[in-house]
Structure 1
Amino acid sequence: MLMARRGKRGVRRSVWTGVPRWARICTVFGTVLLMLSGAVLVGYEALLSRYEGAVGRGDLFGDKAAGAQERRNDIKGPLNILLVGVDPRKPTDAPLADSIMIMHLPAELDRAYLFSMPRDLRVEIPAFPKSGYDGGPDRLNAAMSYGSRVPGRNPDQNTGFELLAKTLQKETGIARFDAGAIINFSGFLKIVDAMGGVEMYVEREVKSEHRKPDGTHRELRPGGGGYLGPQAVYPKGTHRLEGWQALDYVRQRYPKNGVPDGDYGRQRHQQQFVKAMVNQAFSADVVTNPIKLDRVLRAAGQSLVFSGRGNSISDFAFALKGIRPDSITLVKLPAEGIGTGSGYRGERFLPEADDFFASLRNGTVDAFMLEHPDFRNTTK
């Protein structure tokens, strides 16, 4: 049963009672695919244990120096959580951050703001002795690649994440990330299929660059220059997408395919996808079906590498029990391109983005968003 009350500043807060333990873990997965919650844990210890065991754990922030043990702390707000999506590559290939999202939760931990950082953002990447990188200006997604190149072994996505986190702290002024995860986007296919699909609103017709209507890959044009064959089409409106369709849709970023704002459109669609998965995770079709839920959680666990900096996913689930789908605000940050055509060098934030980051640091993000409604990323 869901009950609601008014909290500080008139913000609507949620208290959940009588919802089983596995429902919270479902929400833990659904909100940011790792730790946000909307239910009270009261049972199903075996399912929880199986999920915890399936999630990969990594030292994503360099906390375990010289074998030191992370010290567990009470989880208190405000919190900043870093989520990085990658596509699987060969073990010898350095990873690149395909999607970079930050979840900010104010002190009350009953609402959240989710925003994307442009992959092409021009930043100053700090020196990183672990990989021998000397530091310098580059695009943001390159930080993960530079950090991963630890001498003497295959590229390490965990150390790549560490350098990316340090770069983002420098760029945003966020002093510390409280948790983080590397999310295998291709694993979303199995997760969505385990849920029976995900319902999404497609804001305008989009045509796939990479897939045919039956889901098979389109052939490369001889000599390069694009693909051949019919394209999968996602008409405007609300649709239930299979795993391959959802992943394909959120990858599209070219105006010729129906995404006129390019990578910003892709960022928006990825945020909408995360929120759609939250809603699906809350659906009765999932939370009242232990067999389906078990499949979903195991698929989610296999798609994640997580660091709670001394706290587990379940610890975060308990701390963030007030979060539910309608308490997540999607944020778009104003930016512009540097150069055009062959002279394109990447993206840079407009000054208003710095004001948003300042509001995160000083605890005034609610007021900032009220004063800047154009920062809300629209979704149906």
Structure 2
Amino acid sequence: MRQNSVRKEGARQRAPHASDHGWDSTRHGGDDGPDASSGSGGEPPEGNGRHRRGTGGAERPPRRKRRVLRWSATILSVLILGTAGAGYLYYQHLNGNIETDDLNLGEHRAPEPTPNAAGQTPINILLIGSDARDSKANQKLGGAKETFGSPPLADVQMLLHLSADRTNMSVISMPRDTLLQIPKCTDPDDGKVYAQSGPRTMTNESLGRGGPGCTVATWEKLTNIHINHFMMVDFAGVVAMADAIGGVPVCVDRNIHSRDSQGHGSGLKLKKGTTEVQGKQALQWLRTRYGFEGGTDISRAKAQHMYMNALVRKLRENTGLSNPNQLRKLAEKATAALKVDDGLDTIKKLYDLSAELKKVSPARTTMTTMPFDYAGARVVPKPGDAEQLFRLVRDDVPLDGKGRKKPAAEKPSDDPAAADGEIAVQVQNGTRSTVEPPVSGRAGTVAQLLTGKGFTKATPDTTTALAEERTVVRYPSKELEGDAQRIAKSLGLPLSSAKKSTDVSGVTLIVGADWREGDAPPKPKKKDDRTPDSADALSGSDKKACMKVDPNFTW
């Protein structure tokens, strides 16, 4: 019977560790555990029950405990379903393999993007991987016996953005130990409420606070990017699917053996040059931290990016997928390994999504890592650069620099603004940043400034201290758009700084970290649509990419 591994209460606390910047299956600095290389694959537990949330009278079957891995197998699953038309022969059976969970467990959603001139909108998919140890087959692949059955952590998180016009695709990886604020989440199964966390909570704890929907809510709170779907896959699934396609080419610049004297490491052992990895060896590549130059989660993410790019190229060429039996086997393994939101709960929905993804060539696929700064043994989003990357995705700007269009002229609202003295506006203090505390009394100061400009209904909210990088005017509905734009214009802000949001109940001016002092916000700089260098972008067409090996892990 199916049970969801994310339903364990609470999130286990972890002591900081200077080397703790990768997915460690031991959860305490060991990459994969001393016995990580002893397994020889493994199949997911049998069963094809479906989990669905709802209000019907029938008792829902409990979800099977399932161990989820990472983006690589997730993307594999989607693209395979687009390649394997034979999967339709087993339509109902394959549908029964797919597990579902709720998309967003938070109280608010990021606004949906505005359609382009052709009426198209982007698709954003959050790819989540957990380090849970909840089945014998998966634990054999992952090691860390002392953590068997403990709450999972979302140790791999990648946001896949498919552009509105389907010409390009971007991926943002977030380091698992990023410190941020996890929003309030409610578990719909048992009603347990997880209060909003402190501002310096590791992002990977979100999964244990009600399920993958809380991880989605955390991303939306941080990035203000509307997420359409999430996907998760287990360890055994990635091994089986890698076998089914006959391997993925990866490269190292010297011989590598990921194993130290204490037994830490994935066990990956490869010769210099390019090797087709599959099965357990493919899993080792995706999990390796010890052995790649730097030895951090950042190095591991780079290796994952290379694997994903090579995987997509191979699938597009249909290499290794030469007969119907092979395709059916792959479709079977892919669907059995998947956990998705209700919007992707059938083969047809997955097939349709895969058809959209396949429209993008590898040359227009860009892999990035969220820009970050170190905060002790952890990391925080890099001021300026991280928001720049998020904005490019929100604005559907291609990260490869191709096909960028001139920004459209700002359009005043069709709804006229009320008289200045009739516009009720609340002022909030959003001057706190990752490196500076909020400026005391800032909301009151700016509210007085607005009153002096004739906005006599401006009032400060002295109970709220937010973190907003740039000053913004938010409004909840179309009929208040004109009022919000009028406030923005009176302060010399661009009309685009007036943004619709369900987080507010009326026109709300949030004084950002860019306006910590003075009587006017700084003039906005000319919009820069370049991808930050700190995002470490990698093109999907780069066939020469090769991982650098730490000399201490060569042979």
| TM-score between the two structures when normalised by the length of structure 2 | 0.50
Q: Give, as a single letter, the amino acid of the residue that structure 2 aligns with 1:188.
A: V
Determine the structure 1 residue equivalent to 2:374. Answer: 337
CA distances 1:167-201 after superposition (whole Å, capped 9, x unpaired): 11111111x21111112134211111122222222
How far apart in 1 are the matches of 2:388 and 2:342? 28
CA distances 1:26-55 after superposition (whole Å, capped 9, x unpaired): xxx978134358969977631555544433
Gaps of 5+ in 1: 1-28, 64-74, 149-159, 211-220
| SS of the residue 1:125 aligns to | coil
Q: Tell me how far 1:262 sits from its aligned partner.
A: 1.1
How far apart in 2 are the matches of 1:281 and 1:329? 17
How far apart in 2 are the matches of 1:333 and 1:230? 25
Q: Give, as a single letter, the amino acid of the residue that structure 2 aligns with 1:133.
A: Y
Q: Is 1:371 aligned to 2:421, yes or no?
A: no
Higher Cα radius of gyration: 2
Would the aligned equivalents of 1:208 and 1:232 in 2 still touch at CA under 8 Å? yes
Determine the structure 2 residue equivalent to 1:80. Answer: 124
CA distances 1:273-296 after superposition (whole Å, capped 9, x unpaired): 222222332344434311111111
Q: Equivalent of 2:181, from 124, 149, 153? A: 124
Q: Is 1:59 aligned to 2:98, yes or no?
A: no
Determine the structure 1 residue equivalent to 2:203. Answer: 140
CA distances 1:222-273 after superposition (whole Å, capped 9, x unpaired): xxxx22899542233211113111111221223xx23315110101112222
Q: Equivalent of 2:285, from 249, 254, 273? A: 249
Would the aligned equivalents of 1:120 and 1:139 in 2 still touch at CA under 8 Å? yes
How far apart in 2 are the matches of 1:232 and 1:294? 29
How far apart in 2 are the matches of 1:296 and 1:42? 11
Determine the structure 2 residue equivalent to 1:102. Answer: 159
Aligned CA distance change for structure 1 residues 198 and 204 (closer, same or farther; 3 Å): same
Further displaced range: 97-106 or 368-377: 368-377
Further displaced range: 45-54 or 160-169: 45-54
Q: Tell me how far 1:208 sits from its aligned partner.
A: 1.6
How far apart in 1 are the matches of 2:356 and 2:366? 19
Q: Please give the residue correspondences for 1:142-161 in structure 2 after superposition, counting only pairs within 5 Å.
A: 142-145=205-208, 147-148=209-210, 160-161=211-212
How far apart in 1 are the matches of 2:81 and 2:88? 18
Q: Tell me how far 1:162 sits from its aligned partner.
A: 0.8
Aligned CA distance change for structure 1 residues 44 and 33 (closer, same or farther; 3 Å): closer
Q: Tell me how far 1:351 sits from its aligned partner.
A: 2.1
| SS of the residue 2:186 aligns to | coil
The percent of aligned pairs where both chains have the same amino acid is 26
Q: Is 1:178 aligned to 2:211, yes or no?
A: no
Larger RCO: 1 or 2 (CA < 8 Å, sep 6+)? 1
When the two structures are aligned, how many residues end up with a matched partner? 308
Q: Tell me how far 1:325 sits from its aligned partner.
A: 3.5
| TM-score between the two structures when normalised by the length of structure 1 | 0.70
How far apart in 2 are the matches of 1:161 and 1:116? 16
How far apart in 1 are the matches of 2:330 and 2:80? 15
How far apart in 2 are the matches of 1:191 and 1:242? 8
Further displaced range: 277-286 or 367-376: 367-376
How far apart in 2 are the matches of 1:300 and 1:180? 15
Q: Give, as a single letter, the amino acid of the residue that structure 1 aligns with 2:154.
A: A
Gaps of 5+ in 2: 1-71, 107-118, 136-148, 403-528, 546-555
Q: Is 1:227 aligned to 2:388, yes or no?
A: no
Aligned CA distance change for structure 1 residues 128 and 57 (closer, same or farther; 3 Å): closer
How far apart in 2 are the matches of 1:133 and 1:373? 35
How far apart in 1 are the matches of 2:151 and 2:310? 31
Q: Please give the residue correspondences for 1:269-284 in structure 2 after superposition, counting only pairs within 5 Å.
A: 269-284=303-318
Q: Please give the residue correspondences for 1:24-63 in structure 2 after superposition, counting only pairs within 5 Å.
A: 32-36=75-79, 45-47=88-90, 50-61=93-104
